[in-house]
Amino acid sequence: MLCSLGAALQVPYTTYACENRRCVPQPRTLTHQASHTSLRLCEMTCGAGNLWPQPTSSAIAATTMAVSVDDVQHSVSFGAGDAVPSHLVRGMQQIFDNALALKATECAFVAVDSVGLVVDAAIASASETLSLETDESYTLRIGNGTAVITAATIYGYRHALVTLTQLIEYDELSHAMHMASSASIIDGPAYRHRGVVLDTSRQYYSVAAIRRLLDGMGATKLNTFHWHFTDTASFPVEIKGEPRLTSYGALHPRQIYTQPAIRELVAYAKARGVRVIPEVDAPSHAGAGWQWGVDAGLGELGVCFGHNPWYDACVEPPCGQLNPFNDHVYDILKTVYSELHGLFDADVFHMGGDEVHLGCWNMTKAVTDHMSSDRSPDAFYHIWGAFQKRARSLVDAHKKIAIWTSDLTNAPYLRSYFEPGNTIVQMWTRSNAGDAAKLTAQGYEVVASYYDAYYLDCGFGNWLRKGDDWCHPYHHWSVLYDLDLVQHVPVSQRRLVLGGEVALWSEEVDEATMDAKIWPRAAAAAERWWTNPRNATTWKDAIDRLRIQRDRLVEMGLQADAIQPHWCRLHPGECTLLP
């Protein structure tokens, strides 16, 4: 309809010429010169190109060719070894085919001179394992309508398909699909851990909303969904061995993540190159779901839940911590951990472990009785640390654990309770606090979630009183893009910096507003973690490409926030006020 309407009205398209590595709009006319092209084809072939995240190395032709994407021919060969995961490979191919179909609007037709698209791939390993050790690198070569991919794993292959998707665009001048006529790309991530943490305890997010997040992560080559699904506000995860956790802990009977739904999400994520790491926060951030112990004859499992005034026992309402001296707590944790290990195949299990409030435990008789016999200044940390060690013993020994930074991750406590070889410390301190250098110097792997850059819920006001929130201001995408994770880390320790995660805590966010909070800022972080641009590359060099990527996310169905007026995409380089 829109296509025929445009033709009937003879609406002229704006054409573009590549001048000084920039797409320059030409005067509108009903005819155009052969040297001029549509905006999307110009973006693909001119200057820095349209790829996001930017590859390690790329050479892309300045010309394009018409291709037919109605029936893409996929061919994949594997090296010897594991059984071929045909279902997973086909799922990745289907995502690719669907992405091309989305671009081929109702105006598109198969050009007379088009060639059928062929994608040939050679993958060394057929393993489905997606872990910190997975090789995600790939090469992509395009010529004569054929794309040739080589990759060590199926996840490198998947990343190559994402890149190839960006090199195929609908051309509104010829009403046909076009691909770069030739390209040579060598690519792989700078960091092994590139993620998003989503809090689905304070607000419930539907499975459809989480799928939408995973779609965006796959499109930006983020590889880790850190699922913070329990907190004091709710326990919405089905645990068959202890159903009272959700009976007492869910916000609503229909707001529970069932085990079949979790399995489906894990599989959905894997097809998008994303592993899912579950977090069960303890001993703090545990309230709803643990309040039934006394009635069941098990004693107090959780303490301080719903205490009023809340500020005497926690950092925000509702309060709640586990009772470290009740053996039944550990029996239940063992059940929880065991079932989650069967649902999630990630190589890491997140134990939370931050913001333990002394005020709460000082109200707990079991704790104060113990502290009366331990008068040392470190008695509180001994109790906390002993809980962490005992809980750690219940986690699959083959998995690494992750913990948030806290007083317990400072000297002299850290080494007393957490082993460097199998503990990842997730840093939510300030980016200039020097924690990465301090922790890696002790042999610990780290993931950066600095609140002054990566907390995406900051800058929207305080939900407990009038005024700013604790982590204001709003963190502009340029802050995320320009943050170098290893700038102040000695070269010999940089291998221990695994990467980063942006975080969306849900006090003032739910699924109705999550997309605009996350995107495109998470995409900005994604390029930093994938490419780690050097040679003084900053947000100024990335803004045109990020604007393109933001629009891609919107076309996929994500409600990503705008970064500039749309006029600026139509006039590249004319909207940025550079110092």
> What is the pLDDT at residue 31?
63
- Domain check: are 164 and 241 in the same one? no
Q: Which of 187, 204, 219 is the last residue of a domain?
A: 187
Which pair of structure tokens corresponds to residue 342? 């069967």
CATH number at residue 143: 3.30.379.10
Residue 9 pLDDT = 54
422 and 524 both lie in a single domain? yes
C-alpha–C-alpha distance, residues 503 and 121, integer Å: 35
CA-CA distance, 400 to 410, in Å (whole number)? 19
State the residue range of the domain holding 148: 48-187
Q: What is the pLDDT of residues 357-414, one digit of tens each?
A: 999 999 999 999 988 887 788 999 999 999 999 999 999 999 999 999 999 999 899 9
355 catalytic, yes or no? yes
For residue 578, being part of any structural domain is answered with no
Whether residues 348 and 382 fall in one domain: yes
Query: Number of structural domains, the chain?
Result: 2
The pLDDT assigned to 374 comes to 78
Q: Is it the case that residue 112 has pLDDT exceeding 70?
A: no
- DSSP code per residue over 499-510: EEEEEE--SS--
Annotated catalytic residue, options 355, 445, 501, 508: 355
Do 537 and 497 share a structural domain? yes
Element (H, E) at 375: none
113-156 pLDDT, tens per residue? 778 999 999 999 999 999 999 999 999 999 999 999 999 999 99
CA distance 113 to 48: 28
Burial class (CB in 10 A: 0-12, 13-18, 19+), 8: exposed
Q: Is residue 71 included in any domain, yes or no?
A: yes
Q: Does one domain contain both 226 and 286? A: yes
Task: Output the pLDDT for position 1.
Answer: 46
Least-confidence region, from 16-30, 52-66, 230-244, 489-503: 16-30
pLDDT of residue 2 exceeding 90: no
Q: What is the pLDDT of residues 54-109, one digit of tens each?
A: 999 999 999 999 999 988 999 999 987 778 889 999 999 999 999 999 998 756 56
Interval 4-31 mean pLDDT:
77
Report yes or no on 11 lying in a domain: no
> In this structure, is residue 548 part of a structural domain?
no
Return the pLDDT at 537: 81
Token match 């910190």: residue? 132
Whether residue 437 has pLDDT greater than 90: yes
Percent of the chain with pLDDT over 90: 87
Decide if 21 is inside a domain.
no
Indicate which CATH number applies to the domain containing 276. Answer: 3.20.20.80
Q: What is the pLDDT of residues 156-174, one digit of tens each?
A: 999 999 999 999 999 988 8
382 membership: H or E segment, kind and range: helix 379-392
**Residue 577 resides in a domain:** no
Instruction: Tell whether 26 is covered by a domain.
Output: no
Residue 19 is assigned to a structural domain of this protein: no
Over range 327-335, report the average pLDDT.
99
Among 136, 166, 187, where does a domain finish?
187
pLDDT value at 29 more than 90? no
pLDDT, mean of residues 454-462? 98
